[in-house]
Amino acid sequence: MGCGDGFFTLPAARLVGEEGSVYAVDEDSDAIDRLNRKAALEGLTNIRSKAAEAEETVLCKACADIVFFGIVLHDFKDPVKVLMNAKRMVKRTGRIVDLDWKKEPMELGPPLEIRFSEDEAIRLIESVGLKISAARNSGPFHYLIVAKT
């Protein structure tokens, strides 16, 4: 969700291989076009992309092993609605993963005032009835939260 032009999507498609599928959603149709061109250049045919708002998108019901938010949860207009949609898409045995910027002053990343702290992100995720299974630092700039239904 919020895949942009494929920073995380392309490696995920390589990882799951031809027998897996990666769904990619972004509201920016130009980013989706760039993603599709990059995938075509690599011969990746397992990406299903869609230009749409995450708040209005449920691609499938209980079909996803992982719903991944790669440094983007803070960008959604209604992150609770996006998380509720993710909960609908993930399998009972699946996981919702949020990798995001720490809410600390640094030269990289989005403005500090729009970031979620790790605790804020955990509260958001739990507010839709998900259970946190792991939360940890992911390098000097990011944290990683894994949740399940």
Hey, what domains does the chain have and what are their CATH numbers? 1-52 (no CATH), 61-149 (3.40.50.150)
Backbone angles phi, psi at 56, to 5 degrees: -110, 15
Q: pLDDT tens digits, residue range 104-147?
A: 999 999 999 999 999 999 999 999 999 999 999 999 999 999 99
How distant is the alpha carbon of residue 116 from its chain centre?
Answer: 15
Quick one: what percent of the chain has pLDDT higher than 90? 100
Name 45's Cβ contacts closer than 8 Å, sequence gap at least 6: 18, 39
The closest alpha carbon to 2, from 45, 40, 31, belongs to 31
Residue 123 φ/ψ region, left for φ over 0, alpha for ψ in the -120 to 50 degree band, beta for the rest: alpha
